[in-house]
A and B are shown apart, each in its own frame.
Chain A
Amino acid sequence: MTTQAQILPGTLDLLILRAVSLGPLHGYGILLRIGQISGNALLIEQGALYPGLFRLVRQGLLKASWGTSENNRRAKFYELTAAGRKRLREEADGWNRLAAAIASALATQPEEV
């Protein structure tokens, strides 16, 4: 089993938005999608997903509707709203800038200083 990284506080919302942006998903599907797109590198306790989902719905970034899952079970499907799409773009930009800055900082060699 690969070593999984603890998820940084505040990044779960970003991951949820990203996962849902690829198509409507139910809660469990979001979890699988996050695993898939992150190469199973992140450790998320499954239940921890839901407070985040409810919060994002409340903020109007996601909308939810009941449907049927591929296992033929009733499930609640989430999709991005316009506001959610916008938020995802902003957060992703912010994150990329931060990651680039950190990566550049870490990549700096002694002779370059």
Chain B
Amino acid sequence: MKFLAYFRSVAAKVLHRSRVENDMDEELRSHIQNRADDLERSGLPRAEAERRARIDFGGYQKYKEEIRESLGAHFLDTLLQDIRYAARMLRKSPGFTAVAVLTLALGIGANTAIFSLMDTVMLRMLPVQRPGELVQMGIMTHGFGRSPRTIYTNPLWESLRVRQDIFAGIFAWGNTQFNLAPSGVAEDVRGIYVSGSYFPTLGVRPAQGRLITPDDDKRGCAGVAVLGYGFWQEHFGGAPVDGRTISINGHPFEIIGVSAPGFFGAEVGRAFDVAAPICSEAIVEGKNSSLDQRSAWWLHVIARQKPGINNEQISARLAVLSTQIFGETVPTNWKPSDQKRFLGWTLRALPAGTGISNLRSQYDLPLKTLMAIAGFVLLLACTNVASLMLARAAARSKEIGVRLALGASRLRLVRQLLTESVLLSCSGALLGILFAQWGSRLVVDYISTGRNEISLDLTLDGRVLIFTAAVAILTGLLFGVLPAFRATRVSLADAMKGASSTKTQVDARFRAGRWMVAAQLAISLVLVATTGLFVRSFANLVNLDVGFDRSNVLLANVDLHNAGQAGGQLATMREEMLRRVRALPGVISASESLVTPISGGVRDDFIVVDGPNAPKGDDRDVYLNYVTPDYFATLRSRLIEGRDFNAQDKAGAPQVAIVNQALARKFYRGIEPVGKTFRQYATATVLGAPFLIVGVTGDAKYDTLREDAPPTTYFPLAQIEGTLEHASIEIRTAARASQLAKPVAESVLGVNKSAAIQFTTLAQQVDDSLTQERLLATLSGFFGALALLLAMIGFYGVLAYLLLQRQREIGIRKALGAQRGAILRLVMRDVAMLLLAGVVAGLAITWATTRFVQSLLFDLPARDAATFALSVALLAAVALVACWIPARRAMRVDPMVALRYE
């Protein structure tokens, strides 16, 4: 603020300068006239009196300047003058300016891009009224080291809503996908179910029509929908919506309005397209509705604090509320021990002014890592430009000598040169902001996948601009200070003589240049090694044996909610669909399952195996899947023993199961599992009928690539209890999987017109689960390559410059009979020393820092020796390439030419 006030006063001075100047002039002139009047009265003629008055007054301009200085506008004048001069100097050497600005633009752009991502994901306040008052309702489960749970069941939410009395408002919402296509291939958009208090509590206004209110959110409500502004623009072209309807999963919903532009929801990174009241979940899901389910966790809750109520009061009230709320919503299907734990849970208010975000937890460390990497890149860019400036200082020593000789103070010249540096870095920053805008958009597109669409508002805000400005100025000073002081340390006599630099000056610059090169090599090594770690970690994940073959498998997720068929008929219909798909040309095999690999979906339950060594308690939990015959063949998972399921394993037939090796190892410990049985709990306490194990399959990853395959058991899909309104079909194809999407859709719709289908490929599904690793590998790869390039240019530049300075020495050596080999050795010894110093320093920094990214690495130690060795080799190769041209030029120095230089 102080700075702003100062700036304002300076600006006012500039604006009113003419007035102030006039005032000043008038006052001084009036003084001289008054003096002249007195002198005239004492007998002098008027002209002589005025002359004397002026002499008595003294240096008119000098005093005016002193007055200006005492008014404080002086600094700004000098600055403007310096900037004009700097701009002129930079225009005079366009090559240098272009290289420097581009280098800085890349460095600053990288930092701005990453920072603007961090800003949007982590720092920015929600675009709603008084975001600072918002708190997220968390549930403390009091488990060891657990972070608070932030997800609620609808009964829990309803109980909380009616009982709470300490918040000014409280609302809930749940994320979902809405299929807007009445039938056929699904047209999924991002949907949210919101409580009636959602829009009023956030203080969001409608862009059109009205928003959902508490009156719309009552049990048994009619279907109404509010559109997100962006979605409305894109799909309705901004046309009036009143009276129109959309189809949500086959049910008509009346569009009542559009939310304000800029409002994306309470969740950063996940904007909504269509919002519907929570009560309408019953319309969409029908008898599968979660509204009364005490163990369906799907809602988030945020509250707005009342002014004047402090955190202690909130905690105290929440403690009382917790007992009541959890007491009346115990999930009755939970095991007694879990129910008891549930009763001990408590509510807590967590700050939520910046909204909540999955992205935040997922990308917190990756973004910070990338920020650090970008910082290193900028540092490298700085050293590069600094060495350019050093070389330039040598070329300008005459100009600087003249200015010193004319009486400029050294500090004044340093200030001038620093102005030049900051002007350079600011130009770089302007260009960098352009790069950043484009780059951060690219990153968001990159981590956004079909299943998890990410939308972030990346418009530049004040924080990003301030960050960039600060970086630019700091950068300018960082690379400018050393060259500026070096440049102004010239011997006047030599500079005026026009002699090339003296021995001591060369030595001084030489030392500075050498340090710079060693520093560059060290920084590059850190970047290259870190990149190496991320790339190798990503490669580890990609080349992992996942237990199935992901290539050429098309996945079709078929939604049969609206098929209008009951249980038994649905099963027949699904079988018919699978039969038709299998008959398509180009289909090698096809199967259906409850869960597809790496889809993120998990089904798990306890299994009970008899025997003294069998696992107990929670250890009995295994992952489940229900599959049709040919599932293992379609995914090319190995069947190690026993048999696959077949047509005889149908409903009513003896219950059978296939287990994976992990399950066999854990539950049977070396005993042959085929032919054995296990059971599941039919209710909370009673065991059901036994399952006979008919086969053992190889381990396959289930929901994530990052963990070992969990103990898994497969059951025949035909023997699943209850009705299945979804079908996930895996189709192994002869050619590219995606080409079969159309014929498969036709086959499925041929069986039932109201089916909704969503396609992906297994390869895509696996890829989508690796966005974080791929982002890190790609971006750090880009930064690493940039670092190598910068290091190469810098190394080349400095070496060429240093060798040019030593041309005379080399000439003399050659004249005295040194062979080309000896000269090469001389140069190479230098290079080797620099390389060694750089590598040692770089390795030390790498050694100390990479452990922070251990948790981002898959199956790779943070101090992986092989990666480090490879990075050193790569860097050495680059350094040798960079020094090749200067070294060859040095070997070719003609002694006569070199000696004639003086």
Contact = CB atoms under 8 A, between A and B. Distances in A.
A48 interface: yes
Interface string B61-73: 0110011011110
B71 A47 contact: no
Nearest to B71: A54
A48 B35 CA distance: 15
A58 B46 CA distance: 35
Interface stretch (A72-80, A83-91, A94-102, A103-111): A72-80
B143 to A, nearest CB: 65
Contact of A73 (B33, B67, B71): B33
Given A47-B58, A54-B70, A71 B37 contact: yes
Nearest to A29: B34
A48 B70 CA distance: 12
A50 to B, nearest CB: 6
Contacts of B66: 50-51
Interface size class of A (residues with CB under 8 A): 10 to 19
B63 A27 contact: no
B58 A27 contact: no
Contacts of A73: 30, 33-34, 37
B34 A46 contact: no
Contacts of A46: 31, 35, 56-58
Interface string A16-52: 0000000000111100000000000000011110110
Contacts of A58: 70-72
B60 A47 contact: yes
Contacts of A29: 34
Contacts of B641: none
Contacts of B28: 47, 50
Contacts, number: 63
A47 B34 contact: no
Contacts of B60: 47
B67 A28 contact: no
Nearest to B41: A71
Nearest to A32: B38
Given A45-B58, A55-B70, A58-B70, A50 B27 contact: yes
A45 B60 CA distance: 11
B62 A47 contact: yes
Contacts of B67: 50-51, 54
A32 to B, nearest CB: 8
Contacts of A28: 30-31, 34-35
B63 A26 contact: no
A4 interface: no
B58 A76 contact: no
Contact of B57 (A47, A74, A76): A47
Interface string B9-26: 000000000000001001
B307 interface: no
Contacts of B63: 47-48, 50-51
A48 B58 contact: yes
Contacts of B617: none
A40 B30 CA distance: 22
Nearest to A64: B27
A51 B69 contact: yes
A26 B35 CA distance: 12
Contacts of A27: 27, 30-31
Contacts of B43: none
A6 to B, nearest CB: 15
A45 B53 CA distance: 11
A55 B34 CA distance: 22
B6 to A, nearest CB: 14
Contacts of B407: none
Contacts of B23: 76
Interface string B636-674: 000000000000000000000000000000000000000
Contacts of A75: 27, 30-31, 34
A55 B71 CA distance: 7
Among A29, A71, A74, the one with the most B-chain Cβ atoms within 10 Å of its Cβ is: A71
A71 B56 CA distance: 19
A27 B27 CA distance: 8
Contacts of B34: 26, 28-29, 69, 71, 73, 75
A58 to B, nearest CB: 7
B59 interface: yes
A25 B66 CA distance: 22
Contacts of A76: 23, 27, 30
B473 to A, nearest CB: 29
B49 to A, nearest CB: 12
Contacts of A45: 57-58
A28 B26 CA distance: 13
A14 B58 CA distance: 21
B30 A69 contact: yes
Nearest to A52: B70
Contacts of B27: 27, 50, 75-76
Among A28, A45, A47, A71, the one with the most B-chain Cβ atoms within 10 Å of its Cβ is: A47
Interface of B: 23, 26-28, 30-31, 33-35, 37, 56-60, 62-63, 66-67, 69-72
15 contacts: A27-B30, A28-B34, A47-B28, A47-B57, A47-B60, A48-B58, A50-B28, A51-B70, A69-B30, A69-B34, A71-B34, A74-B30, A75-B34, A76-B27, A76-B30
Given A47-B60, A73-B30, A75-B34, 7 more contacts: A45-B57, A46-B35, A47-B28, A48-B58, A50-B27, A50-B28, A58-B72
